[in-house]
Amino acid sequence: MSYPHSIALQQEIGPWKAWALHDGFMEVPVDEFIAPRTATQPEVQRALAATDEAGDTLRLPVLALLLQSPDELILIDAGCGRGRQSHPLAGKLVKSLRAAGFSPDAIDKVILTHAHLDHAGGLVDEEGRAVFTNATFYLHEAELAHWWEQIKPGENQDANAQALTEIWEAIRSNVISCEDWQEILPGIQLVPLPGHTPGHCGVRLSHEGHHLLFHLSDLALHQHVYLANPEWDFLLDLDHKEAIETRQETLDTLAENGMRVFATHFEFPGFGYVRKQNDTFVWTPDATAVAKHTPAEVDALRRQQD
């Protein structure tokens, strides 16, 4: 089976042009990753069957969001990359970026929602060199502290710590530590979503007093499983109780206010809406996210998902 090398899809969001960039896919063993502390495997398999994804392995898309303001080019997260710890089906972000018409050195700012390798791995290439050579990097102060805690310079490092060390070395001279709710640029604000990691953040786009988009990052790892079962954990939720609490509260808010959402690991292009259904939630993909393309283009995008 072949996978897409480059895929990008443009949206207009208030004053920004936005592209969903496809980095590819990561595959995770279901029994280890999906609800290991909160549900039984038959329950998990039943939930996956609802989207025809029952099986031992779950393939999660990895998406990033590119924004263009009149003055700047802003990338939110950088995918898995092609370096250490990468996933074989991922690492296509730069190709997707080029498909959108930009080179990596054109990126002015990179906002990291958190420092897991499927979000920060793409900051370096196979040789560990910085990919976005002219960018400044923004992330929450709690995430920076967590990053340093994990890399423990000088001590015996595991593969994850080695990868994080390499990325840190490549970007350290241009990193800005951010606080809760910090506005990184006018209308682009970090929203603390702790639990998945200590400094895990969403990003909210607002313009002229209206909230236009909520990038929820890893608040929910799958558009059906974690919306239908927000009380389930994900293996990599560092504090799974806090992650579940944050998820339930945030999904409630998003369903109430009807804000457009972007999610890293939902089906491409990752734009849609969270709706409340009884005591749980459902995902409604944003039909306009594909409507602007010709039927042939839409068809090509869909086929590249397979």
Q: Would you tell me which residues interact with Zn ion (CB under 5 A)?
A: 118, 218
CB of 217 to Zn ion, least distance (A): 7
**CB of 39: closest distance to Zn ion in angstroms?**
20
Among residues 221, 227, 229, 230, which one has the least CA distance to residue 265? 221
Closer to Zn ion by CB, 8 or 112: give it.
112
Between 187 and 272, name the residue whose CB sits nearer to Zn ion: 272
Phi and psi at 146, nearest 5°, equal: -65, -40
Residue 15 Cβ, how far from Zn ion at the closest point, in Å?
Answer: 28
Pick 33 or 138: Cβ nearer Zn ion: 33
Q: Please, what is the minimum distance in Å from the beta carbon of residue 77 to Zn ion? A: 8
Least Å from the CB of residue 200 to Zn ion: 9
CB 81 → Zn ion: shortest distance, Å? 13
- Using the minimum distance from each CB to Zn ion, give the nearer residue, 95 or 114: 114
Distance CA(7)–CA(207), nearest Å, equals: 27
- Inter-CA distances, 35 with 39, 201, 214, 234, Å: 5, 21, 24, 5
Q: Is the CB of 81 or the CB of 187 nearer to Zn ion?
A: 81
Q: Is the omega angle on the peptide bond into residue 269 within 30 degrees of 0, that is, cis?
A: yes
CB environment 285-300: b (16+ within 10 A), e (fewer): bbeebbeeeeeeeeee
CA distances from 203 to 21, 56, 67, 214 (A): 16, 32, 12, 6
Q: Is the CB of 166 or the CB of 218 nearer to Zn ion?
A: 218
Residue 279, amino acid? D
Burial of 15 (0-12, 13-18, 19+ CB in 10 A): middle
